[in-house]
Amino acid sequence: MILLACVALGIWLYLVAWRGGFWLAAIRDEAGPAPSDWPAVTAVIPARNEADGIAECITSLGRQDYRGRFSIIVVDDQSTDGTGEIARRAARRAGFNDRLTVLAGGAPPAGWTGKLWAMKQGIEHAHTRLPAYLLFTDGDIVYSTDMLSRLVAKAEADGLVLNSLMAKLRCVSLAERALVPAFVFFFQMLYPFAWVNRPKHRMAAAAGGCMLVRLDALRAAGGIESIRGELIDDCALAAKLKRQGAIRLALTDGVHSIRAYPALGDIRRMVARSAYAQLRYSPVALVMTVAGMALTYLTPVMLTIFGRGLAQASGLFTWTIMAFAFQPTLRFYHLSPLWGLFLPGIALMYTAFTLDSAYQHARGAGGLWKGRVQAPLR
Protein backbone atom coordinates (compact mmCIF):
# COMPACT_ATOMS: atom_id res chain seq x y z
CA MET A 1 0.00 0.00 0.00
CA ILE A 2 2.81 2.40 0.83
CA LEU A 3 4.33 1.83 -2.60
CA LEU A 4 1.00 2.55 -4.35
CA ALA A 5 0.54 5.64 -2.20
CA CYS A 6 3.98 6.94 -3.11
CA VAL A 7 3.46 6.31 -6.83
CA ALA A 8 0.07 8.05 -6.89
CA LEU A 9 1.43 10.99 -4.93
CA GLY A 10 4.45 11.20 -7.22
CA ILE A 11 2.20 11.31 -10.28
CA TRP A 12 0.22 14.26 -8.92
CA LEU A 13 3.32 16.12 -7.77
CA TYR A 14 4.68 15.79 -11.31
CA LEU A 15 1.39 16.90 -12.87
CA VAL A 16 1.10 19.98 -10.67
CA ALA A 17 4.74 21.03 -10.64
CA TRP A 18 6.20 19.93 -13.99
CA ARG A 19 3.42 19.47 -16.56
CA GLY A 20 3.48 22.97 -18.01
CA GLY A 21 1.15 24.44 -15.38
CA PHE A 22 -1.80 23.03 -17.37
CA TRP A 23 -4.09 22.97 -14.32
CA LEU A 24 -3.88 26.73 -13.82
CA ALA A 25 -6.07 27.32 -16.91
CA ALA A 26 -4.16 30.58 -17.21
CA ILE A 27 -3.48 30.84 -20.95
CA ARG A 28 -6.31 32.94 -22.40
CA ASP A 29 -6.91 34.64 -25.72
CA GLU A 30 -4.95 37.84 -26.29
CA ALA A 31 -5.19 40.58 -28.89
CA GLY A 32 -2.03 41.97 -30.43
CA PRO A 33 -1.63 45.53 -31.73
CA ALA A 34 -3.84 46.39 -34.69
CA PRO A 35 -2.01 45.74 -37.96
CA SER A 36 -1.61 48.59 -40.42
CA ASP A 37 -3.33 46.51 -43.09
CA TRP A 38 -6.00 43.99 -42.11
CA PRO A 39 -5.59 40.82 -44.24
CA ALA A 40 -8.45 39.08 -45.99
CA VAL A 41 -10.07 36.19 -44.08
CA THR A 42 -12.50 33.49 -45.20
CA ALA A 43 -14.39 31.38 -42.67
CA VAL A 44 -14.94 27.75 -43.68
CA ILE A 45 -17.70 25.91 -41.81
CA PRO A 46 -18.15 22.16 -42.43
CA ALA A 47 -21.76 21.65 -41.38
CA ARG A 48 -23.58 18.32 -41.18
CA ASN A 49 -27.09 18.53 -39.69
CA GLU A 50 -26.35 21.71 -37.74
CA ALA A 51 -29.88 23.17 -37.82
CA ASP A 52 -29.85 23.78 -34.07
CA GLY A 53 -26.84 26.09 -34.10
CA ILE A 54 -25.95 27.27 -37.59
CA ALA A 55 -28.12 30.41 -37.52
CA GLU A 56 -26.45 31.72 -34.35
CA CYS A 57 -23.04 30.80 -35.71
CA ILE A 58 -23.60 32.65 -39.00
CA THR A 59 -25.16 35.65 -37.27
CA SER A 60 -22.21 36.00 -34.89
CA LEU A 61 -19.72 35.81 -37.76
CA GLY A 62 -21.66 38.34 -39.81
CA ARG A 63 -21.58 40.80 -36.92
CA GLN A 64 -17.80 40.81 -36.56
CA ASP A 65 -16.25 44.28 -36.35
CA TYR A 66 -13.40 43.14 -38.60
CA ARG A 67 -12.02 45.95 -40.78
CA GLY A 68 -10.54 43.73 -43.48
CA ARG A 69 -12.25 41.71 -46.19
CA PHE A 70 -14.19 38.84 -44.62
CA SER A 71 -16.37 36.17 -46.22
CA ILE A 72 -18.06 32.99 -45.05
CA ILE A 73 -18.36 29.59 -46.72
CA VAL A 74 -20.71 26.95 -45.34
CA VAL A 75 -20.17 23.47 -46.75
CA ASP A 76 -23.49 21.70 -46.28
CA ASP A 77 -22.21 18.17 -45.70
CA GLN A 78 -25.20 16.18 -46.99
CA SER A 79 -27.47 17.50 -44.25
CA THR A 80 -31.04 16.28 -43.97
CA ASP A 81 -32.31 19.02 -41.63
CA GLY A 82 -32.15 22.11 -43.84
CA THR A 83 -28.82 23.37 -42.52
CA GLY A 84 -27.90 25.18 -45.73
CA GLU A 85 -31.21 27.05 -46.06
CA ILE A 86 -31.18 28.01 -42.38
CA ALA A 87 -27.70 29.52 -42.90
CA ARG A 88 -28.94 31.51 -45.91
CA ARG A 89 -31.96 32.82 -43.99
CA ALA A 90 -29.76 33.90 -41.08
CA ALA A 91 -27.49 35.83 -43.44
CA ARG A 92 -30.45 37.50 -45.16
CA ARG A 93 -32.00 38.55 -41.85
CA ALA A 94 -28.70 40.01 -40.64
CA GLY A 95 -28.10 41.83 -43.94
CA PHE A 96 -24.87 40.22 -45.10
CA ASN A 97 -26.12 37.67 -47.61
CA ASP A 98 -23.51 38.88 -50.13
CA ARG A 99 -20.70 37.59 -47.90
CA LEU A 100 -22.10 34.07 -47.48
CA THR A 101 -21.66 31.14 -49.84
CA VAL A 102 -23.37 27.81 -49.17
CA LEU A 103 -21.85 24.86 -50.99
CA ALA A 104 -23.57 21.51 -51.40
CA GLY A 105 -20.95 19.07 -50.17
CA GLY A 106 -20.42 15.69 -51.79
CA ALA A 107 -19.89 12.30 -50.19
CA PRO A 108 -16.35 11.78 -48.88
CA PRO A 109 -14.07 9.62 -51.05
CA ALA A 110 -12.42 6.54 -49.56
CA GLY A 111 -9.79 7.46 -47.00
CA TRP A 112 -11.34 10.81 -46.06
CA THR A 113 -13.35 11.65 -42.96
CA GLY A 114 -16.54 13.54 -43.70
CA LYS A 115 -15.51 16.73 -41.89
CA LEU A 116 -12.13 16.97 -43.60
CA TRP A 117 -13.64 16.36 -47.02
CA ALA A 118 -16.13 19.15 -46.37
CA MET A 119 -13.25 21.41 -45.28
CA LYS A 120 -11.35 20.48 -48.46
CA GLN A 121 -14.28 21.59 -50.60
CA GLY A 122 -14.54 24.85 -48.68
CA ILE A 123 -10.81 25.52 -48.99
CA GLU A 124 -10.90 25.00 -52.76
CA HIS A 125 -13.70 27.55 -53.07
CA ALA A 126 -11.92 29.96 -50.72
CA HIS A 127 -8.85 29.96 -53.01
CA THR A 128 -10.79 32.07 -55.51
CA ARG A 129 -11.04 34.86 -52.90
CA LEU A 130 -7.29 34.90 -52.19
CA PRO A 131 -7.53 35.16 -48.39
CA ALA A 132 -4.42 35.36 -46.23
CA TYR A 133 -6.16 33.41 -43.47
CA LEU A 134 -8.81 30.72 -43.20
CA LEU A 135 -11.00 30.55 -40.10
CA PHE A 136 -12.01 26.93 -39.60
CA THR A 137 -14.99 26.79 -37.29
CA ASP A 138 -17.90 24.49 -36.47
CA GLY A 139 -21.58 25.10 -37.00
CA ASP A 140 -22.33 25.31 -33.28
CA ILE A 141 -19.74 28.01 -32.45
CA VAL A 142 -20.77 31.57 -31.55
CA TYR A 143 -18.29 34.47 -31.52
CA SER A 144 -18.17 37.78 -29.67
CA THR A 145 -18.15 40.70 -32.13
CA ASP A 146 -14.44 41.52 -31.68
CA MET A 147 -13.09 37.97 -31.77
CA LEU A 148 -11.97 37.80 -35.40
CA SER A 149 -10.08 41.08 -34.97
CA ARG A 150 -8.41 39.70 -31.85
CA LEU A 151 -7.45 36.45 -33.57
CA VAL A 152 -5.94 38.16 -36.60
CA ALA A 153 -4.17 40.89 -34.62
CA LYS A 154 -2.49 38.27 -32.42
CA ALA A 155 -1.54 36.12 -35.41
CA GLU A 156 -0.05 39.10 -37.27
CA ALA A 157 1.81 40.43 -34.24
CA ASP A 158 3.36 37.07 -33.28
CA GLY A 159 3.78 35.60 -36.76
CA LEU A 160 1.47 32.69 -36.01
CA VAL A 161 0.58 30.14 -38.66
CA LEU A 162 -2.19 28.83 -36.38
CA ASN A 163 -4.13 30.71 -33.71
CA SER A 164 -6.66 28.41 -32.05
CA LEU A 165 -9.08 29.06 -29.22
CA MET A 166 -10.77 26.35 -27.21
CA ALA A 167 -14.43 27.32 -27.32
CA LYS A 168 -16.14 27.55 -23.97
CA LEU A 169 -18.41 24.53 -23.95
CA ARG A 170 -22.03 24.63 -22.87
CA CYS A 171 -22.33 23.79 -19.17
CA VAL A 172 -26.03 23.86 -18.25
CA SER A 173 -27.42 20.35 -17.75
CA LEU A 174 -26.33 18.15 -14.84
CA ALA A 175 -24.37 15.91 -17.22
CA GLU A 176 -22.58 18.95 -18.66
CA ARG A 177 -21.75 20.40 -15.24
CA ALA A 178 -20.41 17.04 -14.09
CA LEU A 179 -18.34 16.16 -17.17
CA VAL A 180 -17.58 19.18 -19.36
CA PRO A 181 -15.06 20.95 -17.08
CA ALA A 182 -13.21 17.65 -16.64
CA PHE A 183 -13.05 17.26 -20.42
CA VAL A 184 -11.29 20.63 -20.62
CA PHE A 185 -9.06 19.72 -17.66
CA PHE A 186 -8.02 16.42 -19.25
CA PHE A 187 -7.40 18.09 -22.62
CA GLN A 188 -5.08 20.63 -21.00
CA MET A 189 -3.32 17.81 -19.15
CA LEU A 190 -2.79 15.88 -22.37
CA TYR A 191 -1.71 18.97 -24.32
CA PRO A 192 -0.35 21.60 -21.91
CA PHE A 193 -1.01 24.90 -23.65
CA ALA A 194 2.30 26.39 -22.47
CA TRP A 195 4.15 23.59 -24.27
CA VAL A 196 1.98 23.87 -27.37
CA ASN A 197 2.76 27.59 -27.56
CA ARG A 198 6.51 27.13 -27.13
CA PRO A 199 8.03 27.13 -30.65
CA LYS A 200 10.84 24.69 -29.82
CA HIS A 201 8.64 22.20 -27.95
CA ARG A 202 7.39 19.22 -29.93
CA MET A 203 3.91 19.39 -28.38
CA ALA A 204 1.25 20.51 -30.87
CA ALA A 205 -2.52 20.78 -30.47
CA ALA A 206 -5.49 22.87 -31.50
CA ALA A 207 -9.20 23.09 -30.79
CA GLY A 208 -11.15 22.41 -33.96
CA GLY A 209 -14.05 24.73 -33.14
CA CYS A 210 -11.93 27.82 -33.75
CA MET A 211 -8.72 27.70 -35.80
CA LEU A 212 -7.30 30.69 -37.67
CA VAL A 213 -4.80 29.31 -40.19
CA ARG A 214 -2.45 31.04 -42.60
CA LEU A 215 -3.32 29.73 -46.06
CA ASP A 216 0.26 29.74 -47.31
CA ALA A 217 1.38 27.70 -44.28
CA LEU A 218 -1.42 25.20 -44.87
CA ARG A 219 -0.28 24.76 -48.45
CA ALA A 220 3.35 24.35 -47.36
CA ALA A 221 2.26 21.70 -44.85
CA GLY A 222 0.72 19.61 -47.61
CA GLY A 223 -2.84 20.92 -47.46
CA ILE A 224 -5.77 19.46 -45.62
CA GLU A 225 -5.36 16.26 -47.64
CA SER A 226 -2.23 15.48 -45.62
CA ILE A 227 -4.47 14.60 -42.66
CA ARG A 228 -7.49 13.38 -44.64
CA GLY A 229 -8.08 10.23 -42.57
CA GLU A 230 -7.57 11.69 -39.09
CA LEU A 231 -10.44 11.64 -36.60
CA ILE A 232 -8.65 14.01 -34.22
CA ASP A 233 -8.09 16.37 -37.11
CA ASP A 234 -7.44 19.55 -35.13
CA CYS A 235 -4.39 18.19 -33.31
CA ALA A 236 -3.16 16.46 -36.46
CA LEU A 237 -3.36 19.76 -38.34
CA ALA A 238 -1.57 21.56 -35.51
CA ALA A 239 1.29 19.07 -35.70
CA LYS A 240 1.66 19.70 -39.42
CA LEU A 241 1.51 23.48 -39.06
CA LYS A 242 3.95 23.70 -36.16
CA ARG A 243 6.64 22.54 -38.58
CA GLN A 244 5.88 25.67 -40.61
CA GLY A 245 5.95 28.22 -37.79
CA ALA A 246 4.61 29.30 -34.42
CA ILE A 247 1.19 28.15 -33.23
CA ARG A 248 -0.93 29.20 -30.26
CA LEU A 249 -3.74 27.57 -28.28
CA ALA A 250 -5.68 29.29 -25.50
CA LEU A 251 -8.90 29.30 -23.52
CA THR A 252 -11.43 32.05 -24.13
CA ASP A 253 -14.67 33.58 -22.91
CA GLY A 254 -15.36 35.07 -26.33
CA VAL A 255 -16.01 31.88 -28.32
CA HIS A 256 -18.80 29.59 -27.15
CA SER A 257 -20.11 26.22 -28.27
CA ILE A 258 -23.89 26.08 -28.03
CA ARG A 259 -24.06 22.34 -28.76
CA ALA A 260 -26.14 20.75 -26.00
CA TYR A 261 -25.27 17.53 -24.22
CA PRO A 262 -28.36 17.13 -22.05
CA ALA A 263 -27.69 13.58 -20.85
CA LEU A 264 -24.77 11.38 -19.88
CA GLY A 265 -25.20 9.31 -23.04
CA ASP A 266 -24.72 12.38 -25.23
CA ILE A 267 -21.31 13.06 -23.71
CA ARG A 268 -20.43 9.38 -23.83
CA ARG A 269 -21.04 9.34 -27.59
CA MET A 270 -19.01 12.53 -28.06
CA VAL A 271 -16.00 11.07 -26.22
CA ALA A 272 -16.34 7.56 -27.64
CA ARG A 273 -16.24 8.92 -31.19
CA SER A 274 -12.50 9.60 -31.01
CA ALA A 275 -11.07 8.33 -27.70
CA TYR A 276 -9.70 5.09 -29.17
CA ALA A 277 -8.29 7.02 -32.13
CA GLN A 278 -6.30 9.06 -29.59
CA LEU A 279 -4.68 5.76 -28.59
CA ARG A 280 -3.95 4.97 -32.25
CA TYR A 281 -6.30 1.97 -32.01
CA SER A 282 -3.75 0.12 -29.88
CA PRO A 283 -5.03 -2.50 -27.39
CA VAL A 284 -1.75 -2.19 -25.48
CA ALA A 285 -2.19 1.57 -25.16
CA LEU A 286 -5.78 0.99 -24.05
CA VAL A 287 -4.72 -1.36 -21.25
CA MET A 288 -1.99 1.04 -20.15
CA THR A 289 -4.41 3.97 -20.19
CA VAL A 290 -6.98 2.16 -18.05
CA ALA A 291 -4.27 1.12 -15.59
CA GLY A 292 -2.86 4.63 -15.52
CA MET A 293 -6.26 6.21 -14.89
CA ALA A 294 -6.93 3.77 -12.06
CA LEU A 295 -3.57 4.45 -10.45
CA THR A 296 -3.83 8.23 -10.85
CA TYR A 297 -7.43 8.83 -9.87
CA LEU A 298 -8.84 5.83 -8.01
CA THR A 299 -5.87 4.74 -5.90
CA PRO A 300 -5.90 7.89 -3.70
CA VAL A 301 -9.61 7.41 -2.95
CA MET A 302 -9.23 3.72 -2.17
CA LEU A 303 -6.28 4.41 0.13
CA THR A 304 -8.24 7.16 1.90
CA ILE A 305 -11.18 4.86 2.53
CA PHE A 306 -9.48 1.52 3.15
CA GLY A 307 -5.87 2.37 3.98
CA ARG A 308 -4.24 2.72 7.37
CA GLY A 309 -1.60 4.99 8.80
CA LEU A 310 0.83 6.60 6.39
CA ALA A 311 -0.82 5.05 3.32
CA GLN A 312 -4.20 6.51 4.28
CA ALA A 313 -2.69 9.93 5.00
CA SER A 314 -0.84 9.90 1.70
CA GLY A 315 -4.02 8.92 -0.17
CA LEU A 316 -5.97 11.76 1.44
CA PHE A 317 -3.21 14.25 0.68
CA THR A 318 -3.10 13.12 -2.97
CA TRP A 319 -6.88 13.36 -3.29
CA THR A 320 -6.67 16.89 -1.88
CA ILE A 321 -4.02 17.87 -4.46
CA MET A 322 -6.22 16.44 -7.18
CA ALA A 323 -9.27 18.42 -6.05
CA PHE A 324 -7.15 21.56 -5.68
CA ALA A 325 -5.72 21.22 -9.20
CA PHE A 326 -9.26 21.06 -10.65
CA GLN A 327 -10.28 24.38 -9.05
CA PRO A 328 -9.10 26.85 -11.76
CA THR A 329 -11.05 24.97 -14.43
CA LEU A 330 -14.13 24.88 -12.20
CA ARG A 331 -13.81 28.63 -11.66
CA PHE A 332 -13.55 29.15 -15.41
CA TYR A 333 -16.93 27.44 -15.72
CA HIS A 334 -18.37 29.17 -12.62
CA LEU A 335 -19.05 25.89 -10.82
CA SER A 336 -18.88 24.92 -7.17
CA PRO A 337 -15.42 23.95 -5.90
CA LEU A 338 -17.01 20.84 -4.38
CA TRP A 339 -16.97 19.25 -7.84
CA GLY A 340 -13.23 18.83 -7.27
CA LEU A 341 -13.90 16.06 -4.77
CA PHE A 342 -15.71 14.09 -7.47
CA LEU A 343 -12.88 14.18 -10.02
CA PRO A 344 -11.94 10.51 -9.34
CA GLY A 345 -15.48 9.37 -10.14
CA ILE A 346 -15.61 11.61 -13.20
CA ALA A 347 -12.29 10.13 -14.37
CA LEU A 348 -13.78 6.66 -13.94
CA MET A 349 -16.63 7.62 -16.28
CA TYR A 350 -14.20 8.90 -18.90
CA THR A 351 -12.29 5.62 -18.61
CA ALA A 352 -15.55 3.77 -19.30
CA PHE A 353 -16.16 6.02 -22.33
CA THR A 354 -12.71 5.14 -23.64
CA LEU A 355 -13.43 1.43 -23.27
CA ASP A 356 -16.71 1.97 -25.09
CA SER A 357 -14.81 3.73 -27.88
CA ALA A 358 -12.62 0.66 -28.32
CA TYR A 359 -15.71 -1.58 -28.29
CA GLN A 360 -17.45 0.54 -30.93
CA HIS A 361 -14.36 0.37 -33.11
CA ALA A 362 -14.20 -3.42 -32.75
CA ARG A 363 -17.81 -3.77 -33.88
CA GLY A 364 -17.25 -1.54 -36.92
CA ALA A 365 -18.97 1.56 -35.57
CA GLY A 366 -15.92 3.61 -34.64
CA GLY A 367 -15.97 7.35 -35.20
CA LEU A 368 -19.76 7.41 -35.53
CA TRP A 369 -20.89 11.00 -36.02
CA LYS A 370 -24.37 11.98 -37.17
CA GLY A 371 -24.99 8.67 -38.88
CA ARG A 372 -21.58 8.37 -40.53
CA VAL A 373 -18.97 5.81 -39.42
CA GLN A 374 -15.51 7.22 -40.06
CA ALA A 375 -12.89 5.31 -38.08
CA PRO A 376 -10.69 2.98 -40.16
CA LEU A 377 -10.92 -0.72 -39.53
CA ARG A 378 -7.52 -2.00 -38.39
Q: Long-range pairs for 361-366 at CB < 8 Å and ≥24 separation?
A: 361/276, 361/281, 366/276, 366/277
Q: What is the pLDDT of residue 135?
A: 98
What amino acid is encoded at 143 in this protein? Y
Q: What is the pLDDT of residue 128?
A: 82
Q: What is the pLDDT of residue 364?
A: 87
CA 241 distance to own-chain centroid? 16
Q: How confident is the model at residue 94 (pLDDT cuts 50, 70, 90)?
A: confident
CA separation for the pair 45, 233 (Å, rounded): 14
Q: What domains lie within the chain, and their CATH numbers?
A: 2-22+272-362 (no CATH), 27-265 (3.90.550.10)
Give residue-wise pLDDT tens across range 230-253: 999 999 999 999 999 999 999 999
- Give the helix/strand (H/E) hosting 256: strand 246-257
What's the whole-number mean pLDDT along residues 284-307? 97
Cα distances (angstroms) measured from residue 10 to each of 194, 228, 291, 320: 22, 39, 16, 14
Q: How confident is the model at residue 370 (pLDDT cuts 50, 70, 90)?
A: confident
Q: How confident is the model at residue 325 (pLDDT cuts 50, 70, 90)?
A: very high
What are the residue ranges of helices labelled H in 72-113? Answer: 83-94
Q: What is the pTM of this model?
A: 0.95
> Mean pLDDT in the chain?
95
369 has pLDDT over 80: no
Q: Which residue has the higher pLDDT, 94 or 303?
A: 303
CA separation for the pair 189, 168 (Å, rounded): 17
